[in-house]
Structure 1
Amino acid sequence: MSRGTLGPKLRLSMHAAGETGRALLTRVYLSPFMRWRFGRSEPEKLVLAPQDLRASDPTRAAEFVAGRYTFAGKTIVLNEVSPFAVAPPSPAWRETLLGFTWLRHLRAADGLAGKQAARRLVSDFVRSNLRFQPEALDPLLTARRLLSWVSMAPMVLDGADRGFYKAFIRAIAWQASYLLHAGRNTTDGMPRLLCAVAVMQVSLCLTDKVSLRRPAQRWLISELTRQILSDGIHISRNPQANIELLLDLLPLRQSFSARNAVAPPELLGAIDRMMPMLRFFRHADGAFAAFNGMGYTQSHLIATLLAYDDARGKPVQNAPHGGYQRVEGHGAVLLVDTGTPPPISVSQEAHAGTLSFEFSADNFRIVVNCGAPAAGRENWRHLARSTGAHSTAIVNDASSSHFAGGTRKPGMGGRAILSGPKHVEVARDTTPTAVTLTASHDGYRHDFGLIHKRELTLSQITGALEGRDSFLDSRNEPWLGRYPALLRFHLHPAVAARPANGDTQIVITLPNGKEWLFLADVPFTLAETAHLANPEGPRRSVQIVMTLPDGEHTMSWAFLPADPV
């Protein structure tokens, strides 16, 4: 065992031990005694249905009513057979089914059809033994199911008989009590925080749940304090986490008010810190930057959340705790990842993209990262997390972080990041004409003996972006290593690129017809790539690839508007 891999292997062992412990605890919670304990008290009634901020789709509603179930890219058509009684076409399909997040679509159905279908599907689950199976009581799925059930309760219960009403309320209460215990041991990060949110929400929605409310509030406060950083970014560093959590935290805040209960300051403070981050990560076209697990931006969700933003001001430019920088100038937006990997326990979706950036101008994204693929595209996920899928430097085709499995190679990593850059230094210099970011990371220091230093300058006059990438040794001297070092600039699939002027520059044409030029002081080529952050699946695109010449240690480049006027 080499000295360099001892740390990651020990961390992997500890991570695996945690997963095994959580599985054992789940089996304990599902024992007959614990099932009796969680379900021995019964609340009187449901007194509150929180608002669901997610939109409903009438087309999906019509499909469910007709017995057509499409989840995670797979479809099953059933005739008077419950979807809970058939073999799932994929694990992702079954997980989506059991989470009940799709229940909201049925409120968009015409007449009584949606209500009847919703009640029938909930009844199928409540009256089946499936609800006591480990797969159905995965804490994250249970949390999502509870939040869906209480928000959609008016639709589900409209026209229901007393027997179904009691079974429905009993099922909610039992799952909330179960989740209060099992959720504390589930996967760290957003899954655990969502479990705390779900239990807190249920305790406010049901009568006679004061005994549940007190521990739920303590748990919620603990998780919010730990997971929402001082600048409002989630500890996982995934921008998607901010979106998903706000969609549930805002209704929870409303529920406290509706029950005439005082919301904890930690909840209000977390929301206040998280809301500005919605503007921080937005490009000129409204899409979020694809960092650390962020996929396709659902613009309607962002618009809904921004309606709750009382400040409505210019986004902050520096998120030092989350590890991101934002620069704006003359209609251009530059977003840069300047952080270290998140803690191992919350790194399951994190990417090896340190010092990667995204750049947009004229209301279109130009340079992007490949982004996270949609559900059902798991074969792309490991590749999406590699350094090569980001607009940054890559050395010897190896990622700047070690993934579980003891490797840096794309396509081979496990779920957690075990090690990566330990020191990321950032400096910001602002003048009336330009803003310059200078950052460096040591993710390649141990294996290849180099420090990657990146200098990015955004003009406040023209919106042009100029960059300089340096490869230095531990003494801050020029790195003269034997390994190939490349720069990759992944272009958004909506833009077109072609070589020009004798292959000394690239012309980038935006969808509105405006042109930008790419120039560099070393040879570069255009190569194929894939943009993964799309709901319909990967889209072909191109990337600009620069190779560090032998004997050199710097590469300079620029994205310039062809007509800066």
Structure 2
Amino acid sequence: MSESRADEPNDGQGRDTIDAGHRMVRAAGEGSASLGQRVADYFDRLTWRTPIHDMRLKGRYPRKLLAVPADPVAGDAERGEALTAGWLAWGNEFRALDEVTFASSIGSVAFDDHAQSFAWLRDLWAAPDRAAATRTAEVLTQRWLAVNGERVTERGWRPDLWGRRMLMWTAHAPLLLSSTDLIYRSSVLSAIARGARHLDRTADKTPVGVRRIAAWCGVVAAGLLIPGGDPRRAIGEAGLERALSVSIGSDGGIASRSPRDQLDAIELLACLRAAYDARRLDLPEPVMQVLARSVSALLGTMMGDAGLSSWQGAGPIGYDEVQAVLAASRVVRRPLRQASDRGYQRIAAARSVLVMDAAPPPTSPSAAGACASTLAFELSDGEERLIVNCGGALAVADAGLAAGLRSTAAHSTLVLADTNSTALLPDGSLGRGVGAVDLSRQESDAGSRIEARHDGYARRFGFRHHRTLTMTVDGLELRGEDSLLPAGKRQARGAVPFVARFHLGMGVEVSASPDAQGATLTTPQGAVWHFRAAGATVMIEDSVWIDPAGEIVPTKQIVAGGSADPGGATISWVFKRAR
């Protein structure tokens, strides 16, 4: 049992440095998968159902596993008890177990993925009635085998889900393999062997990001735990390192830039590490280094309540879930203040924490919830979230609401002409918009200052959005300036309306000042903040926030609006905590 520790904040190389300035550019070739790639992927999936692929999956199956890893993430006893009582829960969705046949979708994509991954086994493991938990695990496993055991289905055999299932089935083998039914036991072990052979051929064809990492983790786990797996383990370790190199940046941030995916990748590596522990082996050093950097990057999106901020389709992730995964990782790091590769900026000053999106949006095919959120920020006062993004696009079932939650207007940033800074296309991918973000940051005894600008509106309206954020060292004051600067050949015709939106955290009460130039905010614990704006008219409007459980919570937002003539416009504003 080893632990990676770096008491000093780091940039992935063991240093805590703040680059004075740099430019982040949307990489060439990023975006939704090309037509050719989608066609190739489609035909590859079709081959799964051919006799040729079925022949590839045939072979001997193990009579037992070499070891049983200890799942490093504890399950939820209440959810485990609900499972034994006949209910499967995930997020805010509940389904009767009678509906869980694995033959068709019964909920949201996230719910179905959870069911197929068998991650609920850890909840059954935590259930107080072990006999009932074992019976429930066997019933659901038999249902999965009835649909998918001998027939390769596109849903049940998706490589990333098989990778997760491999980790769960091996870690919770006592729940699955304690039966005296020898035919059932051999069916489970045969499915594990067939799944491993399937992963051998499909892991590298899985989309870059957490899905490819999951698939390769399954390959390595199979190599570690199935007898005779040393060749597979060697191939799997090389494949996992390749997957990590294209999915995790030099600063530890994941390609999708989603805190949910970041946390998920760390959990996968922690579970894989448990498989190495079970064999009394060490996690390969290159993987250990990525895990350590990933933890630091994750903490860079943490707010004052030790939960994660809402970015790229992810809702806020609560303290308990974050701490469980951090404990499982056995990595101790400080938060990354400046993600030079994935683009988040973090300022922590006394009680206040600010996280800013200072990069172009992710556009790889794996970034399902990518948002037009460039230059938005979140701000917390102690454990209370003051300014937030609406978040949670991947947690809601309504497609229209999900699209709205991905929009620029759903984030605490400036919106020009009610238009997204990066286009949201009908197929869910991102189109043209922000291609580059120029950033500079300065630290002094007085506080921290971030200046950033993006070109998302340059092509359509002839303006660049320039935002400056300055937080005092005591964390009691945040000053901002939003400017629309003329850029490019296209010139605006007449005045173009804009608004700077500041979505308020749950329970924050707000009242506008009589002069329409400011507002007073009161948090649930009684902290008072004053907001003032110059160069704009201040209004209070309704908003929503998606909470950690995926529930829609009504909130408010401050809207500072104005118009930009062809020469541009500037508004300045300040949040100041009353002493």
The answer as to 2:394 corresponding to 1:377 is: no
Q: CA offsets per residue over residues 374-416 of structure 1, 9 Å max, x none?
A: 64524222111111111111111111112334xxxxxxxx322
Q: CA deviation at 1:26?
A: 1.5
The aligned counterpart of 2:21 is: none
Alignment partner of 1:387 is 2:408:
yes
Deviations 1:311-350 (A, max 9, x none): 7454232111111111121311111111112243333221
In structure 1, which of residues 186, 193, 196 is the aligned counterpart of residue 216 of structure 2?
A: 196
Q: Does 1:115 align with 2:127?
A: no
**Does the CA-based 8 Å contact 1:243-1:302 persist in structure 2?**
yes
**CA spacing shift, 1:510–1:185, aligned 2, 3 Å:** same
Task: Provide the residue aligned with 2:510 in structure 1.
Answer: 497
* Counterparts in 2 of 1:29 and 1:59: CA distance versus 1, 3 Å: same
- Rounded to whole Å, the distance in 1 between the matches of 2:375 and 2:277 is 42
Counterpart contact for 1:49–1:151, Cα < 8 Å: yes
Q: Does 2:422 align with 1:422? A: no
- How has the CA–CA distance of structure 1 residues 160 and 184 changed in structure 2, closer, same or farther, with 3 Å as cutoff? farther
1:22 alignment partner, one of 33, 37, 41: 41
Partner of 1:325, secondary structure, is strand
- 87-96 or 267-276: bigger deviation: 87-96
Equivalent residue for 1:409? none
Structure 2 unpaired stretches of 5+: 1-25
Equivalent-residue separation in structure 1 for 2:180 and 2:456 (angstroms): 59
**Which residue of the partner structure matches residue 542 of structure 1?**
556
Contact in 1 for aligned 2:31/2:365 (Cα 8 Å): no
Output the CA distance in 2 between the equivalents of 1:230 and 1:347: 18
Is this contact kept in 1: 2:251–2:342, CA < 8 A? yes
Q: Return the offset for 1:305.
A: 3.2
| SS of equivalent to 1:403 | coil
Distance 1:32 1:260, change over 3 A: same
Question: Is structure 2 residue 118 aligned with structure 1 residue 100?
Answer: yes
Structure 1 residues 73 and 285: alpha-carbon distance in aligned structure 2, compared to 1, 3 A threshold: closer
Cα deviations by residue, 1:504-542 (Å, 9 ceiling, x for unpaired): 421111111110001111211000111124414211111
User: How far off its partner does 1:170 sit?
Assistant: 1.1
In the superposition, the TM-score normalised over structure 1's length comes to 0.89
| CA–CA distance in structure 2, aligned partners of residues 199 and 462 of structure 1 | 47
In the TM superposition, what is the alpha-carbon distance from 1:137 to its structure 2 partner? 1.5
Going from structure 1 to structure 2, the CA distance change for 1:419 and 1:259 (only over 3 Å counts) comes to farther
Q: Mark the CA change 1:514 to 1:208 in structure 2 (over 3 Å): closer, same or farther.
A: same
Equivalence map 1:221-236=2 (5 Å): 221-236=241-256
Q: Closer, same or farther in 2 for the Cα pair 1:298/1:157, shift >3 Å?
A: farther
Determine whether 1:466 maps to 2:479.
yes
Matches within 5 A, 1:129-168: 129=148, 132-168=152-188
Q: Distance in 1 between matches of 2:331 and 2:152?
A: 45
Which of 179, 196, 207 is 1:187 aligned to?
207
Q: Which amino acid aligns with 2:562?
A: L
Q: Distance in 1 between matches of 2:246 and 2:367?
A: 15
Aligned mate of 2:425, from 358, 381, 404: 404
1:50-90 CA-to-partner distances (Å, cap 9, x unmatched) read 33233323332233223334456554446xx5731776544
**Distance (Å, rounded) in 1 between the aligned partners of 2:577 and 2:169:** 51
Instruction: Determine whether 1:84 maps to 2:104.
Output: no
SS state of the match for residue 506, structure 2?
coil
Does the CA contact (< 8 Å) of 1:43 and 1:209 recur in 2? no
Q: Deviations over 1:428-450 (max 9, x none)?
A: 12221121111111111111111
Q: Distance in 1 between matches of 2:152 and 2:329?
A: 40
1:215 to 230, 235, 244: 235
Query: Would the aligned equivalents of 1:332 and 1:463 in 2 still touch at CA under 8 Å?
Result: yes
| 5+ residue gaps, structure 1 | 1-6, 406-413
1:106 partner letter: L
Counterpart-to-counterpart distance in 2, 1:309 and 1:276:
12
Match of 1:48, SS state, is coil
Aligned in 2, Cα 1:235/1:106: closer, same or farther, shift over 3 Å?
same
- Deviation per CA, 1:11-44: give whole Å up to 9, x if none: 8785343233212111212322322222213234
Cα gap change, 1:119 to 1:369, in 2 (>3 Å): same
Mapped pair 1:178 → 2:198? yes
Aligned residues: 546
**1:479 touches 1:553 (CA, 8 Å); kept in 2?**
no
Match of 1:243 in 2: 263
Structure 1 pair 555/308, CA: closer, same or farther in 2 (3 Å)?
Answer: same
Q: How does 1:311-330 map to 2 (within 5 A)?
A: 312=332, 314-330=334-350
What's the offset of the Cα at 1:233? Answer: 0.6
**Structure 2: distance between partners of 1:309 and 1:179:** 24
The reply on whether 1:278 has 2:294 as its aligned counterpart is no
CA change 1:346–1:77 in 2 (3 A) is closer
**What do residues 346-374 of structure 1 show as CA deviations (whole Å, max 9, x unaligned)?**
33221111111111113211111111246
> Which residue, 284, 290, 296 being the options, matches 1:264?
284
Residues 451-495 of structure 1 deviation map (CA, whole Å, 9 limit, x = unaligned): 100011001135210001110012799978532111111111221
Picking from 37, 45, 51, the partner of 2:64 is 45
Distance in 2 (CA, whole Å) between partners of 1:468 and 1:534 is 31
Q: Which has the higher contact order (CA 8 A, sep 6+)?
A: 2
Contact 1:26-1:182 at 8 Å conserved across structures: no
Give SS of 1:283's match. coil
Return the offset for 1:556: 0.4
Other-structure match for 1:287? 307
CA contact (8 A) 1:443 1:451 kept: yes
Change beyond 3 A, Cα 1:480–1:337: farther
With over 3 angstroms needed to count, the CA separation of the structure-2 counterparts of 1:66 and 1:298, relative to structure 1, is same
Q: Match for 1:99: what amino acid?
A: S
Is 1:436 the counterpart of 2:452? The answer is no
Partners of 1:508 and 1:516 within 8 A in 2? yes
Are the counterparts in 2 of residues 224 and 266 from structure 1 also a CA contact under 8 Å? no
Q: Distance in 2 between matches of 1:532 and 1:386?
A: 14
Aligned 8 A contact 1:72 1:96 in 2: no
Matched, 1:35 2:54: yes
1:517 pairs with one of 530, 537, 544: 530
Instruction: Indicate if the aligned counterparts of 1:396 and 1:484 stay in contact, CA closer than 8 A.
Output: yes
Q: Deviations over 1:182-231 (max 9, x none)?
A: 23223332111211111111221211122322221221110111211111
Write the mapping of 1:446-485 to structure 2, written as runs, cut at 5 A.
446-474=459-487, 482-485=495-498
Contact 2:357 2:376 survives alignment (8 Å): yes
* Counterpart Cα distance in 2 of 1:14 and 1:555: 39
Name the SS for the 1:148 alignment partner: helix
